Structure 1
Amino acid sequence: MVNRLPNRTDARAIPGYTAADEERWVEEPPKKAYRTSFERDRARILHSSALRRLGAKTQVVAPYSDDFVRTRLTHSLEVAQVGRELGQALGCDPDVVDAACLSHDLGHPPFGHNGETALNELAASIGGFEGNAQTLRLLTRLETKKFRADGRSAGLNLSRASLDAVCKYPWTRQDAPLQADGRQTRKFGVYEDDLTVFDWLRSGNEKYAGVRCIEAQVMDLADDISYSVHDVEDSVVAGRFQLRWITDPDQRARVIEYTRRWYLPGADDDEIDAALKRLEATQEWVPAVNGSRRSLAALKDMTSQFIGRFSTAALVATRKEYGDEPLTRFNAQLIVPRETEFEIAAMKGLATAYVMTSEERQPIYVRQREALGELVALLQDTGDQYLEPMFAADWNEADTDEARLRAIIDQVASLTDASAIEWHSTLVQGKSYRTELF
């Protein structure tokens, strides 16, 4: 006898979510299937070309530099695992959180945050470039699956709840809030010419303007947790540093400084130092790794235990505040204890101090930014000649220089690290493809 999965339609109620949460920008006929609408969202992202490209994009170290280094893709898969479990424990739909976690880095350009900085400068005249805003643009325009009645792309046409869960910064550049130090945050989640879909996905929740839904908050914390421990793990395995180094007062001061400067502006150094001491006092802390299976296993256990430590702290604190009811959309705020926030930041500060700001990396970062600048300049001079067909169509349909530049920025942002180097080598330098130059 064959066991059959029950039939259900997209209109089936999902606990904690309304019919409006499941709506899509372009209406689609109901499908009798075994999947919910949110499961369909996750599948669309999982099968997207943008997700596959993350396998060749930098997380911290270039993907071609090591066979086992984490890439943006493996990082996204790990974020999805952390976020899905935490979200489910809170009562969020796990597929909404999973979809947001898989999507959260789709808009990042080649060369990681260094590439994002370069493209932001190159796009200054058209509203800048921001990886999170690019993610929304990609999901609702560039990664095509459905079309609007006027013939324009609707992207993957995800549900309102899934799209909103991706919005880590639900505001434009002009509306960005102030940080703790009084400065306006540089992060934003939507470009001006994507406001139509942004307004649609936030419709019905106007009173929460500038507030992230809890699914987006879970995604954001899962991202922070994942890269805080995994970047340290990758860096130790790659021989960049050992955790015992921070017992030296000068080295410790360096880590504390970068933690404060990059992640906790205005924080007290003693409080950051206390966070490091709490982590050092755990039985999982691994002062040194020598490459043996035993030491590598200990390091892996440390990362696993710290993921559990940080996630559980947020889960317990949030449940203590809101009880056992399912927490979805805007009926709760994720609570991360201050001590946990500082411990996560201290872990990120370790990787920042020893990898991202190391002197040996600076010439590489300069060459990467120069390459992207020269590539954008060449594409501006050559029109649609070298653009891929989809971006060439956007360029030809544009009616202003600003819109044409945005099409070029979209093209360059879509490239992987290797393809950006290849395009620069062949188109700008007229040389054969050589990754070692970067």
Structure 2
Amino acid sequence: MRANFASTPEGARGRRFPEEESAHRSCFQRDRDRIIHCSAFRRLKHKTQVFVEHEGDFYRTRLTHSIEVAQVARTIAGALGLNFDLTEAVALAHDLGHTPFGHTGEEALDALMAPYGGFDHNAQTLRIVTRLERHYAEFDGLNLTWDTLEGIAKHNGPVAPLGPDGQLTGDVPYALADYNAAHDLELHTHANAEAQVAALSDDIAYNNHDLHDGLRAGLFTEDQIADLPIVRDAYAEVDAKYPDTDSYRRRHEALRRVFGAMVTDLIETSRARLAASGATNAQDIRDIGHPVIGFSDAMWGDLKQIRSFLFSNMYRAPHVMEQRSRVTQAVNELFPVYLADPTLLPQRWQGDVAQAPDETTLARLVADYIAGMTDRFALQQHAHYSGRDVLEGLWPGQDAGA
């Protein structure tokens, strides 16, 4: 049953470029489908989640991560009476702007772009769906509804407050500021509840699957995670119910219970917050001034401990740090190659290059191109221009078995 504070296709704020409605799909279903069919979504299959794509077939990529986030988000939205098509659209789109090599590539590109306004993967997602995808005859981008664009831009919260003059203050990523000047997404408010669900579904997905991938890679052991909150109780329950199961099934059964505990807590806590909010429509959610979707304080404290463990034992593990150093070098060396000679960009980019009025615009085109690369294409391009493989000899991880 749909809640009165849910977003509805009938209440959607439309598209920047008007289109006839579909006879078979709601506007939010149409948004979701356009995201799934876009080029940037397909490229996520070869973009890093934690491990560089060459390290094995069983680790999560940005594509499988996005699908897992969408599944979690759709379940939670349904339980809360929200619009699960809008929730799914935002969840599927949330990482489209990621560079090759994940957050490592983003940090490298942000540093390189510092003289030109910086780089932010969330802002880049908006740039992709409003400008860089060029498949439709009547417009650039995907022409998504305002509601979906709002969710993409603000799913992590307001971007910047308004000043006394009614203008945004603070540091707004250039891609967001550029688009918002033409199509106001009200970046000073919280997003719809559906986007808030998508944001925290991201947390649920990566906290769970990074434990699984870290175990598979041998970066830590089950004994090392046995005393983590949530995990401890999950293993105890599995051992009591299945005392003779093998270690792989034991691990899977425990981690699926960790997953379930996070989802259940988010649903129960958010249901209470929504009831207490007094919201009677989707706009009320934006105007409340604080998130309405969230974990309990106890669960949030437990997740902080899990994230701290993953940070120390996975994201900053010696092998991962060596990998980070090498791919950072690849990005650092690729960027000036294209900036110095933009004719090396593909032919279809040359029209934009010819019209670039200054170095800042040109640098942003180069950043767009590099950000769109997959891990392996970035490595191939770097090897082509540098004559060497930056990952040669790097430990490939423990990826045997189903």
Tell me the alpha carbon deviations over residues 6-36 of structure 1, each in whole angstroms, 9 at most, x when there is no partner.
xxxxxxxx9742645251111112332x211
Flag the 1:340–1:147 CA change in 2: closer, same or farther, 3 A: farther
Q: Sequence identity, in percent? A: 31
Aligned ranges 1:14-163 → 2 under 5 Å = 16-17=7-8, 19=10, 21-32=12-23, 34-146=24-136, 153-163=139-149
Amino acid at match of 1:27: P
Tell me the alpha carbon deviations over residues 168-189 of structure 1, each in whole angstroms, 9 at most, x when there is no partner.
34655xx389xxxxxx999969
Q: Partners in 1 of 2:65 and 2:190 — Cα distance?
A: 26
Q: Partners in 1 of 2:161 and 2:245 — Cα distance?
A: 47
Aligned ranges 1:21-420 → 2 under 5 Å = 21-32=12-23, 34-146=24-136, 153-167=139-153, 168-169=155-156, 175=160, 190-197=175-182, 199=184, 202=185, 206=186, 209-245=188-224, 276-283=228-235, 294-323=246-275, 329-332=282-285, 333-383=292-342, 385-420=343-378
Q: Which of 1 and 2 has higher RCO (CA within 8 Å, sep 6+)?
A: 2
Q: Partners in 1 of 2:124 and 2:190 — Cα distance?
A: 19
1:101 shift after superposition: 0.8
Q: Partners in 2 of 1:122 and 1:28 — Cα distance?
A: 39
1:60 shift after superposition: 0.8
Q: Partners in 1 of 2:179 and 2:212 — Cα distance?
A: 38
Secondary structure (helix, strand or coil) at the match of 1:30 reads coil
**TM-score, reference length from structure 2:** 0.83
Flag the 1:368–1:30 CA change in 2: closer, same or farther, 3 A: same
Secondary structure (helix, strand or coil) at the match of 1:129 reads coil
Gaps of 5+ in 2: 163-168, 286-291, 395-402
C-alpha RMSD of the superposition: 3.0
1:278 shift after superposition: 4.9
Counterpart contact for 1:58–1:110, Cα < 8 Å? yes
Counterpart contact for 1:26–1:146, Cα < 8 Å? no
Q: Partners in 2 of 1:16 and 1:379 — Cα distance?
A: 43
1:88 shift after superposition: 1.6
Gaps of 5+ in 1: 1-13, 178-183, 253-275
Counterpart contact for 1:171–1:190, Cα < 8 Å? no
1:103 shift after superposition: 0.6
1:76 shift after superposition: 0.5
Flag the 1:297–1:387 CA change in 2: closer, same or farther, 3 A: same
The number of residues matched between the two structures is 372
Amino acid at match of 1:162: T
Q: Partners in 2 of 1:165 and 1:39 — Cα distance?
A: 15
Tell me the alpha carbon deviations over residues 116-160 of structure 1, each in whole angstroms, 9 at most, x when there is no partner.
000000000121111101111111111124466xxxx53011111
1:108 shift after superposition: 0.5
